[in-house]
Chain A
Amino acid sequence: MIALLARDMRLAVRAGGGFGLGLAFFLIVVVLVPFGVGPQSALLSKIAPGILWLGALLACLLSLDRIFALDHEDGSLDLLATSPLPMEGIVSVKALAHWLTTGLPLVLAAPVLGVLLNLPGPGFGWLVLSLALGTPALSVIGTFGAALTVGLKRGGLLLSLLVLPLYVPTLIFGAEVARRGAEGMAPGTPLALLAGITCGTIALLPFASAAVLKVNLR
């Protein structure tokens, strides 16, 4: 499993610049928002937590189809499926690799982009914490979506249609933590719920993803 993780990480970092793409997308979304809503800093600081969460979510979504597509094309996915590793383990490692190469950089970049959007001072810590807690759920859910659409010719749009509704609870609780943190309220409750969703998805969804992947490789 560790070898697979290392391989996926190496591929993501080296091949074709997919690694930085999500980050660049995140940056561009955040830069475009003030053009859309105007440069008033009061308004920007009010919507900053939501925009940052939404941007991170979309950046995550953008890189989902890479989780399985390349491996499926060159046949290494079939090879992995016949290896002694259980399918649940494979999808978990894939999700972890996706999070390390996409989610984690987004979490680290978020505070910098928060400065651009004039995020209030107390919000930074909560924003980073909520993203760090929430993005693993995004990766795991996204892996399920990617496993669903792996064999399809034009799976990209369908993938977004399937995955985005599943992102709703994570987004609600995550953005709520960041918003409450930024406004100086106690973010304990949504934080606990967000952590619950993340733990639940990590524990249960790999089984669904593995089942779906088995069907698709049949």
Chain B
Amino acid sequence: MSLNALWEYANPKKFIETTDRVLPWIAWGSAITLAAGLVWGFFFTPDDYKQGSTVKIIYLHVPSALMAINAWLMMLVTSLVWIVRRHHVSALAARAAAPVGMVMTLIALATGALWGQPMWGTWWAWDPRLTSFLILFLFYLGYIALWEAIENDDTAADLTSILCLVGSVFALLSRYAVNFWNQGLHQGASLSLDKEENVADVFWYPLLVAMAGFVLLFVALVLVRTRTEIRARRMRALEARERMQA
């Protein structure tokens, strides 16, 4: 398949047809990998010698944080595609991804707080990573609010995609600004591929499965929501046509 063939899916009809076939596989794949990863992680891994059983929240915390950031990245890419090539499916996909990404951010913040209470002795600390996630949450909030506020679909798509571009730059700036502003309590990256010291394999493999499950879950949710958006828009067009004829 050449790269050009990818643009075929910008046709809403083609998109719906293809996702019709693919969606069940993704949805079931997500359910199975999530169940496998979480059951494996929760019941068949040893407790950490320092953290006890609280370590198991990693199977929710890390994948949701991963998806929270990647959802924004996906919105950035689809926004760019909308600005450059003006494919409606792309703009709708960005719109569909925002609430999912926002919930992922919330899950990451909430599980982090639940873990932080017994481990750090506090629900919340103004640590750079925590703070930048909270700021990311605010960006999601503003993005969604702007989508909701504008009535004309194309105007809304244009404005939100530009907001997404500008917001990405500022989100990145904020990430490094808070780094500068306060020292961290959060542990450093322990899942990098190029580091000597990483998380132990016993925890790593189920975590990998859980992350795959979250990725699939995200893809499935975004596909479902994008299809809903496409159909809602088609329905509005049909209703408008009916009113014209009546």
Contact = CB atoms under 8 A, between A and B. Distances in A.
Interface of A: 144, 148-149, 151-152, 155, 158, 161-162, 164-166, 168-169, 172-173, 176, 189-190, 193, 197, 205, 208, 211-212, 215-216, 218
Given A148-B146, A211-B162, A190 B180 contact: yes
B158 A215 contact: yes
A63 B195 CA distance: 50
Given A148-B146, A162-B142, A165-B135, A172 B159 contact: no
A208 B166 contact: yes
Nearest to A197: B173
Contacts of A155: 149
A176 B181 contact: yes
A94 to B, nearest CB: 17
Interface of B: 135, 138-139, 141-142, 145-146, 149-150, 155, 158-159, 162-163, 165-167, 170-171, 173-174, 177-178, 180-181
Given A169-B177, A172-B180, A148 B145 contact: no
A161 B159 contact: no
A211 B173 CA distance: 22
Given A161-B138, A168-B173, 13 more contacts: A148-B159, A149-B149, A158-B146, A161-B145, A165-B170, A166-B166, A169-B170, A172-B177, A193-B177, A208-B165, A208-B166, A212-B158, A215-B159
A153 to B, nearest CB: 9
A124 B134 CA distance: 32
A152 B147 CA distance: 12
A19 to B, nearest CB: 29
A166 B149 CA distance: 19
A172 B182 CA distance: 10
A22 B178 CA distance: 28
B173 A169 contact: yes
Contact of B149 (A152, A173, A212): A152
B174 A169 contact: yes
A208 B159 CA distance: 10
B181 A172 contact: yes
Contact of B162 (A158, A165, A208): A208
Nearest to B156: A215
A218 B165 CA distance: 21
A216 B149 contact: no
Given A172-B181, A216-B155, A162 B163 contact: yes
Given A172-B181, A193-B180, A208-B165, A165 B159 contact: no
SS of A interface (majority): helix
A140 to B, nearest CB: 11
A91 to B, nearest CB: 13
A149 B163 CA distance: 11
A212 B177 CA distance: 26
Contacts of B173: 168-169, 197
B149 A165 contact: no
B10 to A, nearest CB: 21
A139 to B, nearest CB: 15
A205 B166 contact: yes
A218 B155 contact: yes
A65 to B, nearest CB: 14
7 contacts: A148-B159, A162-B145, A168-B135, A168-B173, A169-B174, A172-B174, A176-B180
A142 to B, nearest CB: 13
Contacts of B138: 161, 164-165
B142 A161 contact: yes
A158 B149 contact: yes
A166 B145 contact: no
Report which residue of B138, B173, B180 has the largest number of chain A beta carbons within 10 angstroms of its beta carbon. B173
Contact of A152 (B150, B167, B178, B181): B150
Contacts of B142: 158, 161-162, 165
A43 to B, nearest CB: 19
Contacts of A205: 166
B155 A215 contact: yes
A202 to B, nearest CB: 14
Contacts of B167: 165-166
